[in-house]
C-alpha cells in the first residue's frame, strides 16, 4: 500500500509570510446555533466543529503559523445539559484516539491546558497518551484548552507562588511577569498574537486572560462549523493590516 501523499496549501499571494502571527488562539463559538438553524440537535454542531478545527490546524501548518490554541471546554461549560457535557467528553476522547496517528504523521505536538484533574479518567488517559507520544514532534504546536478558565489559572499560579514564598524559596519582590508566566498552564507555549472568535460575540469569555494582553482580536459573525480556509485568510489579512504597538508610540 502506498502512503497517502500530504497535500499542502500555499500561502495566498496577498498575505506576507514575514507578518504572519506566530501563535493563533481561537474561541470556537456557534456550534449549537449552527445545528439549530438546520433543525439538528446541538451535538451535530460539535461534530461539525471538529472538522473545522482539523481544517484550521492543517491550514496553520501549511501557511506557516507555528502554534494554534483552541478553547474546547471552559470551566463554565459544566453548566450545560448533562447529555451535552457527556457527548463532548466522549467526542474529545474519540477524536484524540482517531487522530493520534495522523498527528504523528503530520508532526503535530499536542498539549492540553486547564484543570485536567477534573476530567473523566478515560479522557485523561487519552490526553496523557497523545501528549506523551507527540512530545518530540517539531511541527505545529497545538494546544487544547479543556476545563480551562483564565481566572482559575491565575488563582492556581498565585497559590503556587504563595507556597514558594511561604517556604522561603523566593521573596515577594522576586515576583515579576517572567516568574508569574512560568506558573501558568501556558508556560511553554507563549502568548497568542491573534485571537479569532466566531459567531459574532464580542467577549473573551475567561479565555487566556493574562496571555491575551496584547493579542489582536478578530471577530467574525460566521458560526464555527462554517469557519473555513477563506475565513481564516480574511482573519490573517485583517491581522496584517493592524499596527501592533504594544502600548508604545511609533
Ligand atoms: C461552542 O459552541 C463550542 C463548544 C463549547 C465546544 C467546542 C468543541 C469542539 C469544536 C470539539 C473540539 C474537539 C477537540 C478534540 C479539541 P456553542 O455550543 O456554545 O454554540 P452556541 O453558542 O451556538 O450555543
pLDDT tens digit string along 95-128? Answer: 999 999 999 999 999 999 999 999 999 999 999 9
- Which residue carries 494546544 as its cell? 143
Contact 221, 33 (CB under 8 A): no
Contact 130, 100 (CB under 8 A): yes
**CA–CA separation, 34 and 178 (whole Å):** 41
Q: CA 204, 247, 114, 71 torsion: positive or negative?
A: positive
Cα–ligand 1 centroid distance for 213 (angstroms): 24
| Closest atom, ligand 1, to C-alpha of 35 | 23
- With the most atoms of ligand 1 within 8 angstroms of its CB, the residue from 27, 32, 226 to mutate is 32
Confidence of residue 192 (pLDDT cuts 50, 70, 90): very high
For ligand 1, atom 3, name the residue with the nearest CA: 29
Q: Where are the domains of the chain?
A: 20-149+191-238
- The Cα 92–Cα 204 span in angstroms is 22
200: left (phi over 0), alpha (psi -120 to 50) or beta: left
pTM of the model: 0.95
Mean pLDDT of 192-199: 98
Catalytic residues: 29, 77
Q: CATH for 20-149+191-238?
A: 3.40.1180.10
34, 40, 41, 49: residue to mutate for ligand 1 pocket, most atoms within 8 A of CB: 49
Residues 137-152 pLDDT 10s: 999 999 999 999 999 9
| 12 DSSP 8-state letter | P
Amino acid at each position: 500500500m502506498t502512503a497517502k501523499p500530504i497535500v499542502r496549501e500555499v500561502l495566498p499571494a496577498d498575505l506576507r509570510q514575514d507578518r504572519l502571527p506566530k501563535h493563533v488562539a481561537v474561541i470556537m463559538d456557534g456550534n449549537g446555533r449552527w445545528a439549530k438553524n438546520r433543525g439538528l440537535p446541538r451535538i451535530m454542531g460539535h461534530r461539525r466543529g471538529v472538522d473545522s478545527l482539523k481544517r484550521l490546524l492543517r491550514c496553520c501548518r501549511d501557511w506557516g503559523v507555528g502554534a494554534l490554541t483552541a478553547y474546547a471546554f471552559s470551566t463554565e461549560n459544566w453548566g450545560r445539559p448533562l447529555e451535552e457535557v457527556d457527548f463532548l467528553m466522549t467526542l474529545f476522547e474519540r477524536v484524540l484516539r482517531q487522530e493520534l496517528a495522523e498527528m504523528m504523521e503530520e508532526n503535530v505536538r499536542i498539549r492540553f491546558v486547564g484543570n485536567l484533574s477534573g476530567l473523566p479518567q478515560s479522557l485523561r488517559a487519552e490526553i496523557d497518551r497523545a501528549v506523551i507520544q507527540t512530545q518530540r514532534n517539531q511541527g505545529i504546536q497545538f494546544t487544547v484548552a479543556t476545563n480551562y478558565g483564565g481566572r482559575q489559572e491565575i488563582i492556581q499560579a498565585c497559590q503556587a507562588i504563595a507556597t514558594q514564598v511561604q517556604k522561603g524559596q523566593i521573596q515577594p519582590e522576586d515576583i515579576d511577569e517572567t516568574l508569574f508566566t512560568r506558573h501558568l498552564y501556558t508556560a511553554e507555549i507563549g502568548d497568542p498574537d491573534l485571537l479569532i472568535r466566531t459567531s459574532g460575540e464580542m467577549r473573551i469569555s475567561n479565555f487566556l486572560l493574562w496571555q491575551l494582553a496584547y493579542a489582536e482580536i478578530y471577530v467574525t459573525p460566521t458560526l464555527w462549523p462554517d469557519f473555513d480556509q477563506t475565513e481564516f485568510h480574511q482573519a490573517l489579512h485583517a491581522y496584517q493590516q493592524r499596527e501592533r504597538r504594544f502600548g508604545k508610540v511609533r
